[in-house]
Amino acid sequence: METKQIQKEIRQLIEEREAILLAHYYQRDEVQEIADIVGDSLALSIEAAKTAARVIVFAGVHFMAESAAILSPEKTVLLPRRDAGCPLADTVTPEALLEARKAHPRAAVVTYINSSAAVKALSDICCTSANAVRVVQSVSEDEILFVPDGNLARYTARFTDKKIIPWGGACPVHDEIDAGAVARLKQAHPDSPLAVHPECPPAVLALADFVGSTAGILRFVRESKAAAFLIGTEQGIFHRLRLENPGKTFLPASPSLLCETMKFTTLEDIRSSLKENRYVIRVPEETAAAARRTLERMTALS
Ligand code: SF4
């Protein structure tokens, strides 16, 4: 009852403030339930930019709210929890990237969307887990500094002749999936396809029936005739999977598939965010303009 009451209050506040609530697939179920749009990070920011809303409340992590601010500079972007960061994005700083650019002067810098605005601003082009191969193929350089996810970099390298130099970052949630445990799970469930995110280690990807972004995993499950699936990405996606596929069942590929910072945001935080206009995410204009160019170079490819 309490949950329903807070959800109702949030929806009222959203109307009053002419706002839009975005929730990433990894958010808590009760947050996804009342969001205007549920999706992956870039799709959310692109959709939000198209709406007439004056305020964007981003139930996600910091770099996602920055992307929304970059693409909607005229809107107020709120991140309900200031401490909701992404440990993967934190593995690269602007200073470290500048050093790496010096060390690899012939390389183009392709930066995964899971990165700060300041890092995007120093890159040549952005990519997502869905379009990384296409982005890498689109640049003229034969050498690519791929930032910050090393697993996604190595996965992308399988589909190109270009020299990929992976950054040393990893998503702690996906990177901890143990290939041995996954192999045993597959043996126990031989009729259940394994769908995983490319942020997983190569040994896990080698066992997968499907490798793709969150949106890609959702599409794979929708289109598959199988009745049960093993899922190798953050467990928040189960809410959407069950909603879209009522007759199918899902098992996590690992018991530890929980992103702590994605789960920070509670309904109470969202209500306070709307009431108190906090925490406003601003990206300095010069940084935003440079980061926007790297995003636009990517979106121009699709
Ligand atoms: S799941 Fe991984 S990449 Fe996504 S927000 Fe959490 S730590 Fe970052």
In the reported structure, the alpha carbon of residue 301 is separated from the centroid of ligand 1 by a whole-number distance in angstroms of 25
DSSP 3-state of 242:
helix
In the reported structure, the alpha carbon of residue 277 is separated from the centroid of ligand 1 by a whole-number distance in angstroms of 25
How far is C-alpha 268 from the chain's CA centre?
A: 23
In the reported structure, the alpha carbon of residue 99 is separated from the centroid of ligand 1 by a whole-number distance in angstroms of 25
Atom nearest to 60 CA in ligand 1: 5
pLDDT truncated to tens, each residue of the chain (302 aa)? 599 999 999 999 999 999 999 999 999 999 999 999 999 988 998 998 999 999 999 999 999 999 999 999 999 999 999 999 999 999 999 999 999 999 999 999 999 999 999 999 999 999 999 999 999 999 999 999 999 999 999 999 999 999 999 999 999 999 999 999 999 999 999 999 999 999 999 999 999 999 999 999 999 999 999 999 999 999 999 999 999 999 999 999 999 899 999 999 999 999 999 999 999 999 999 999 999 999 999 999 97
Atom nearest to 234 CA in ligand 1: 1
| CATH superfamily ID and name for 2-85+262-283 | NadA-like (3.40.50.10800)
pLDDT value for 302 = 72
89-170: what CATH class?
alpha beta
Protein residue whose Cα sits closest to atom 2 of ligand 1: 171
* DSSP character at residue 192: S
Residue with tokens 């990807």: 205
Location of each CATH 3.40.50.10800 domain in the chain: 2-85+262-283, 89-170, 177-255
Protein residue whose Cα sits closest to atom 8 of ligand 1: 86
250: left (phi over 0), alpha (psi -120 to 50) or beta: beta
Protein residue whose Cα sits closest to atom 6 of ligand 1: 259
Residue 88, ligand 1, Cβ within 6 A: yes
31: left (phi over 0), alpha (psi -120 to 50) or beta: alpha
Residue 114, ligand 1, Cβ within 6 A: yes
> What is 177-255's CATH topology?
Rossmann fold (3.40.50)
Task: Tell me the sheet residues that pair with 210.
Answer: 195
In the reported structure, the alpha carbon of residue 173 is separated from the centroid of ligand 1 by a whole-number distance in angstroms of 7
Task: Give the phi and the psi of residue 193 in degrees, each rounded to 5.
Answer: -60, 145
Residue 241, ligand 1, Cβ within 6 A: no
Task: Give the phi and the psi of residue 177 in degrees, each rounded to 5.
Answer: -65, 130
- Which strand (E) or helix (H) includes residue 287? helix 285-299
DSSP 3-state of 25:
coil
Task: Say if residues 141 and 106 touch (Cβ distance below 8 Å).
Answer: yes
